[in-house]
Amino acid sequence: MRNIFTIARKELSIYFTTPWGWVGGAAMAFISSFFFMFFLNSFKEVQDKARIKGWANMDPELSQMRNLTDGVIVNLFGFLLFITLFIAPFLAMRLFAEERRQKTIELLFTSPIRTIDIVLGKYLGGVGAIAAILSVTLVYPIILAIFGASQSGNALEWSTVALGYGGLLIWGAVCMGVGMFISALTESQMLAAVLTFVILLLWTALGAQAAAVEEPWRSAIRYVSFDTQLQNLMIGVLDLKALVFFGSIILMTILFTHRAVEAQRWT
């Protein structure tokens, strides 16, 4: 375990002593702030109209705007998923590809460290970087908690917020797992990033294509779609099925990466 945490700490320090971690954090802060202000302004406009017309006369689709949690934070989560989809591949691409390009991976292979320790250490370092970048957005629910009561009269539902952030972290962990596996297959960081992004994007979009096929394929495609599995978590519903699904994907990518690295170690 000590080797795993040593490698994880080293990887995490690399992210924030090089531009990658800071660029990812800045991108997350800038893009998410834009959407946060957009949803907050939309929420305020709907609230103002509801005070004049009454909720009974409002479009039923606007019912989620009755409180800050659903009207702002839950909507923001959807965009944070896509921001993470863009950022994670560029964080994961260097995990093994950079080691191979700089020929430093031989040092790891000749060290008395097990392959699984190397893989887990790098993976945990990458997930730690994702968690640090996502933590930048915690300022938004804090702002709403402080000033929200005076705007809407409703406090945030912290259980929904916590579960949503848990879902985002799980999603980031899945993206990092897929990216790490691709990174272990090539020494080109850019190729690893592009392939990871394409795979994640297509996998996420599977749910939208399900309507074009017949049962039982429709249900099967929807089940394996990332978008479908994330829906409940993003609205504050604890979905054990989704947790098992994502846990299986993470475990699978770690095992695949281990086999890829192990094969390289003995060739």
Instruction: Give tens-digit pLDDT for 67-79.
Output: 778 888 888 998 9
Alpha-carbon distance values, 94 to 10, 66, 68, 106, 137 (Å): 13, 44, 38, 16, 24
Task: Tell me: pLDDT of 152 over 50.
Answer: no
What pLDDT, on the 0 to 100 scale, is given for residue 203?
A: 83
- Taking the CB of residue 178, how many other CB atoms lie within 10 A of it? 25
Which of 3-17, 58-72, 151-165, 250-264 has the weakest average pLDDT?
Answer: 58-72
**Spatial CA neighbour of 165 closest among 76, 51, 54, 248:** 76
pLDDT tier at 151 (50, 70, 90 boundaries)?
A: very low
What pLDDT, on the 0 to 100 scale, is given for residue 7?
A: 84
